[in-house]
């Protein structure tokens, strides 16, 4: 199996077209390191999902054969540029009145509201949940709530195209009574 490196100028490129030797070597080294890390073998998730929708053409969801299998997230997601990267600030379960959703201690209501907040921010940028490539989850009590979160996430993401994901437990969040916060990165097609 051989590797081919291609350097193309994206549409709208305003540079002089020169690529420094350092950039070229760094890019090649990064590509080779990535190939080595995956043992040169990666399995692409089918473009067709359980719901039958095609994957966005600028995203490729990868689960290398050398990685642990987990249906709750994707190991690596490749975004082909040009495109738009949207970084979403951490979202807690706060409604438009800046109040925590549900009754005190209602994790499900807070997590549902946090995902609705993400969905709204994506819509404002012309995107949708299918463009999310990375989620970072912050729990006050990870063990008590992560299984519940999996059920909530399943409502928003196709089974075959789960975002890359990290879950951590933290000691405190910025809002008293908040049990959960999630931040997201999305890759949208060019405007």
Whether residue 91 sits in one domain with residue 178: yes
Q: What is the pLDDT of residue 147?
A: 94
Q: Of the candidates 61, 79, 97, which is a domain's last residue?
A: 79
184 and 93 in one domain? yes
Would you state the structure tokens that stand for residue 107, as one six-digit string?
């994790």
**Domain ends where: 79, 104, 123?**
79
| 74 & 88 share domain | no
pLDDT at 53: 64
Q: Which tokens is 181 given? A: 């916060």
DSSP states of 63-87: --TTSPP-TTS-SEEEEPSS-EEEE
Q: Are strands 180-188 and 132-139 parallel, antiparallel or unpaired?
A: antiparallel
**CA distance linking residue 27 with residue 15, whole number of Å:** 18
Range of the domain at 154: 84-188
Q: Write out pLDDT tens, residues 93-102.
A: 999 999 999 9
Q: Tally helices (H) and strands (E) across the chain.
A: 3, 6
Smallest Cα–Cα separation from 45: which of 157, 160, 131?
160
> What is the CATH number for 159?
3.30.1330.40
Q: How many domains does the chain have?
A: 2
DSSP-derived secondary structure for 124-175 = HTT--GGGEEEEEEEESSHHHHHHHHHHHHHTTS-TT-PPEEEEEE-S--SS
pLDDT of residue 76: 80
**Residue 66: per-residue pLDDT:** 81
- 140 is a domain residue: yes
In terms of domains, do 65 and 120 share one?
Answer: no
Torsion region of 18: left, alpha or beta (phi above 0 gives left; psi -120 to 50 gives alpha): beta
Nearest Cα to Cα of residue 7 among 28, 32, 33: 28
Per-residue pLDDT at 96 = 94
Tell me how far apart the alpha carbons of residues 65 and 12 are, in angstroms, rounded to a whole number: 37
The number of beta carbons lying within 10 Å of the beta carbon of residue 179 is 25
Question: Using N-to-C axis directions, what is the helix angle for 107-124 and 142-154, rounded to 10°?
Answer: 50
**Spans of the chain below 70 pLDDT:** 1-53
């Amino acid at each position: 199996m051989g590797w081919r490196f291609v350097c193309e100028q994206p549409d709208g490129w305003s540079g002089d077209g020169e690529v420094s030797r350092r950039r070229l070597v760094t890019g090649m080294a990064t590509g080779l390191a990535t190939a080595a890390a995956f043992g040169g073998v990666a399995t692409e998730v089918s473009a067709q999902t359980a719901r039958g929708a095609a994957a966005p053409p600028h995203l490729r969801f990868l689960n290398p054969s050398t990685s642990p299998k987990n249906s709750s997230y994707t190991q690596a997601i490749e975004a082909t540029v040009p495109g738009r990267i949207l970084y979403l600030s951490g979202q807690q379960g706060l409604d438009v009145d800046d109040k925590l959703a549900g009754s005190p201690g209602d994790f499900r209501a807070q997590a549902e509201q946090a995902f609705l907040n993400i969905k709204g921010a994506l819509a404002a940028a012309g995107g949708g949940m299918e463009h999310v490539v990375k989620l970072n989850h912050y729990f006050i009590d990870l063990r008590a709530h992560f299984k519940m979160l999996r059920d909530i996430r399943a409502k928003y993401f196709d089974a075959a195209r789960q975002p890359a994901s990290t879950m951590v437990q933290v000691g405190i969040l910025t809002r008293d009574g908040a049990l959960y916060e999630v931040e997201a990165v999305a890759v949208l097609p060019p405007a």
